[in-house]
Structure formats: structure tokens, C-alpha cells
Structure 1
């Protein structure tokens, strides 16, 4: 059983985590992709990617508001 478990524990890179978080922000995820990501994504990477995504989103909103007001 240990051999089977080790074969399925392929951890995704930070770039793959950023991609998954980006698509999750948009709300466009296939169920199969979600299940694959839930098995391979590192929770710490997901938190950092989410924080980066939120900061980028807020930055874009602030820039749009400044552009619209000026």
C-alpha cells in the first residue's frame, strides 16, 4: 500500500498552483481538474497564491478607479 500511495502523491509546482487559483477566481473549473488539484496542490502554496491573486485583483481595481476618476 505504501508503494501505491507514493505513486499518487505527486505535488504540483507553485506555477501550477497559481494557474489553479487563477481559474478558481474566475469560477471556471472542471470537476476532474478540481479533484486532481485537491490531491496534488500544496495547501501552503494555495494560501500564498490566493494572497497574491487578491493583491493583484485589488491593484487592478484601484488602477481602474483612478483611471475612471481622472
Structure 2
């Protein structure tokens, strides 16, 4: 696995599963070789922005009723 190029989608998947709190130990073991820190930061920022957007939309929908 050390020869594989780090993928943004692998990093995004790792961040999303970490948000939920469901990661396998085997995934944690291969993360240092497969995750690019820049990809993780960008994926984290995207995930947080989407999460906040969903929360704001839910609050607006509830308050509007």
C-alpha cells in the first residue's frame, strides 16, 4: 500500500467515518501511509461546512413553522 498515491476521496471517507465515530482498527493502521494531511484538512472543512449548513437549514425550517 505504500506505493499507492493518496486519494482525496479516501481522505474524505476517513473524515466522514470519523465524524460518525465508526472506524476499523485496520483503517487506523494504514492511515499514516494513505492519508495526505492537506486532503484531511480540506475534507474536514468541507464536512464541517456541510454539517453546519444542514443544521442551519433544519433550524430555519423548524422556526418558520
- TM-score after normalising by structure 2: 0.88
1:10 equivalent to 2:8? Answer no
RMSD: 1.3
CA drift of 1:9 comes to 4.3
TM-score (ref. length: structure 1): 0.82
| Structure 1 residues not aligned, in runs of 5+ | 1-6
Q: Which residue of 2 aligns with 1:44?
A: 38
C-alpha separation between the residues in 2 aligned to 1:45 and 1:14? Answer: 6
Work out whether 1:60 is the aligned partner of 2:59.
Answer: no
Runs of 4 or more, structure 1, over 4 Å off, are none
